[in-house]
Amino acid sequence: MELFKKLFSKGITDVVDSVSNVIDRFTLSKEEKQEFKLEMQSRMMQLESELEETYRKELDARQEIIKAELTQGDNYTKRARPTIVYAGMLFIFLVYVIVPVIAYISGADKMPDIQLPNEFWWAWGTVVGVYGVGRSAEKMGITNKLTNYMTGSGANKVPTTINKAEG
């Protein structure tokens, strides 16, 4: 937070100084100029406070999401990728590793020409791509209905109270 205070306090001073330089061109009394500078500084500080509060709320929301994911009881959804990703990897492993190894061990003269169809690659690649984009968005803090549909995680459904004793 110190970094933000230094950054914003210097920014506020610079903005107030630049605005006061513009105001100096107009014919105002010294008291009016000083009053304007103080009012401007007050409003800029209020804006800084609101920005800091918004940032704090976002960090708190992310923290609550992480807590909710870690405290859930279902180990499969806590650690596993979607089943479709694992199933696709299993098919790829079977077709491109196990079948050729079995053919080699059995002494076949010619390796079997088994390939997964293009439709498999398009469908599986699309699912994995959409899931990857959704999870990346969630990890960046973007949680909404779209990312929920993309990942199926429900990360934006943060419980209002994690521990009922606290709330």
Domain residue limits at 38: 2-71
Residue 106 and residue 129 share a domain: yes
What does the pLDDT look like over 92-139, one tens digit per residue?
Answer: 999 999 999 998 898 888 888 888 999 999 998 988 888 888 778 777
- The first and second tokens of residue 15, run together, are 């903005």
AA identity, residue 144: N
Q: What pLDDT is recorded for position 167?
A: 42
Residue 94 and residue 64 share a domain: no
Residue 84 and residue 61 share a domain: no
Residue 113 and residue 51 share a domain: no
- The residue among 71, 94, 111 that closes a domain is 71
Residue 95 and residue 82 share a domain: yes
Q: What pLDDT is recorded for position 94?
A: 94
Q: How far is CA 125 from CA 84, 109, 119, 121, 151, in A?
A: 10, 33, 10, 6, 15
Contact assessment for residue 158 and residue 61, using Cβ atoms and an 8 Å cutoff: yes
**Residue 165 resides in a domain:** no
**Residue 124 resides in a domain:** yes
* Burial class for 143, CB neighbours closer than 10 Å (0-12, 13-18, 19+): buried
Q: How many CB atoms within 10 Å of residue 151?
A: 21
**Residue 33 resides in a domain:** yes
The helix (run of H) or strand (run of E) holding residue 86 is helix 83-93
The tally of domains found in the chain comes to 2
Phi then psi for residue 166, to 5 deg, are -75, -35
- The first and second tokens of residue 128, run together, are 């994995």
Instruction: Choose between 20 and 163: higher pLDDT.
Output: 20
Asked if the model's pLDDT at residue 159 lies above 60, the reply is no
Alpha carbon distance 158, 16 (integer Å): 40
What does the pLDDT look like over 145-156, one tens digit per residue?
Answer: 777 766 666 544
Phi then psi for residue 154, to 5 deg, are 70, 25
**Residue 90 resides in a domain:** yes
Residue 135 and residue 92 share a domain: yes
What does the pLDDT look like over 29-81, one tens digit per residue?
Answer: 788 878 877 888 888 888 888 888 888 888 888 888 777 766 766 666 655 56
Q: How far is CA 117 from CA 19, 44, 92, 95, 160, in A?
A: 66, 61, 11, 11, 46
> Comparing C-alpha atoms, which of 146, 147, 125 is closest to residue 136?
147
